[in-house]
Amino acid sequence: MTDPADILAALDTVRDPDLEAQVTSLGFVTSCAVSADGVADVRLRLPTYFCAPIFAWLMVADAYDAVSAVPGVRQAQIELEDHFASAEINRGVAARAGFVQSFDGLAETELDELRTDFVRKAMLAATDRVCRPLLAAGRTPDELAVLTLGDAPQSPDRERLRARRDELGLPAGDDAPLLVDPLRGEAVGVQALPLHLRRARLTGIGMQANASVCRGMLRERYATIGIGEEEEENQ
């Protein structure tokens, strides 16, 4: 029999696409169970009834894929609760129908390009979290411009940056430049470096602030803590 902890571990890989935070740490998972015959049942919730359906769709779809891949799971049942489009999202994800078909007449394109934009944003935020300690330790911007990804100290943030670059098909090996423009895929030169670092910093701050707001709204709405929810990391 599959352990529910394995299901929860799979959900740890699912992120809010706009916040680059795990749905578990945000408190979006309300229940997680698996039957003896391998049917996994997961319930998700969001901070407001009117959260953007594109965000909701991506999280429910990613949760479905993650849970379905757990060994021993025969069927994944992912249910988004208390959302104005939950019926369309739950039905469409379960049928693997796609966003356009599920919102027939309301959506014109699938969400692949939007997902890529979110990954670029996450890459910028991860860049900030890797570079800030280096700058605080006395590294100059000129020195950062010639560092490789392998030159940065080993950390979860560095591996997060590596993973986001890999998702975008950008160089992610230890010998790749530390600073890469997520849109053009090119190393950031010395002249462009100050603006790039400011963009990365503002992106990271925005994500952190929005994640705090979402946690607060969710707790205000439900007055409960979700499964796997953690306090925000100090950033």
pLDDT, residue 230, reads 57
pLDDT, residue 101, reads 96
- Give domain status of residue 151, yes or no: yes
Which CATH number belongs to the domain containing residue 95 in this structure?
Answer: 3.30.300.130
Going by C-alpha positions, the residue among 5, 66, 2, 10 that lies closest to residue 39 is 2
- Give domain status of residue 160, yes or no: yes
Domain co-membership, 83 together with 133:
no
Domain co-membership, 146 together with 67:
no
Domain count, the chain: 2
Range of the domain at 37: 4-109
- Give domain status of residue 75, yes or no: yes
Domain co-membership, 156 together with 193:
yes
Task: Give phi and psi for 75, each to the nearest 5.
Answer: -150, 135
pLDDT, residue 141, reads 87
Strand pairing class (39-44; 75-80): parallel
Residues 33, 188: Cα–Cα separation, whole Å: 46
Domain co-membership, 105 together with 194:
no
Domain co-membership, 8 together with 104:
yes
Which residue is it, tokens 């169970």? 33
The pTM for the full model equals: 0.90
Domain co-membership, 99 together with 8:
yes
Last residue of a domain, one of 109, 131, 155: 109
Mean pLDDT by 10 residues, the chain (235 residues): 93 95 95 95 97 97 98 97 97 96 94 96 97 95 94 96 97 97 94 95 96 94 80 42
Domain co-membership, 181 together with 143:
yes
CB 118 within 8 A of CB 52: no
- Give domain status of residue 13, yes or no: yes
Domain co-membership, 97 together with 124:
no
Task: Tokens for 38, please give them.
Answer: 């391998």
Domain co-membership, 188 together with 92:
no
- Give domain status of residue 226, yes or no: no
- Give domain status of residue 19, yes or no: yes
Last residue of a domain, one of 109, 127, 150: 109
CB half-sphere exposure, 219, CA atoms < 13 A: 12
Residues whose CB is less than 8 angstroms from the CB of residue 205 and which lie 6 or more positions away in sequence, other chains included: none
- Give domain status of residue 34, yes or no: yes
Domain co-membership, 15 together with 88:
yes
Q: What is the 3-state secondary structure (H, E, C) of the chain?
A: CCCHHHHHHHHCCCEECCCCEECCCCCCEEEEEECCCCEEEEEECCCCCCCCHHHHHHHHHHHHHHHHCCCCCCEEEEEECCCCCHHHHHHHHHHCCCHHHHCCCCCCCCCHHHHHHHHHHHHHHHHHHHHHHHHHCCCCHHHHCCCEHHHCCCCHHHHHHHHHHHHCCCCCCCCCECCECCCCCCECCCCCHHHHHHHHHHHHHHHHHHHHHHHHHHHHHHCCCCCCCCCCCCC
- Give domain status of residue 221, yes or no: no
Residues 61, 89: Cα–Cα separation, whole Å: 9
Residues 112, 215: Cα–Cα separation, whole Å: 27
Domain co-membership, 13 together with 82:
yes
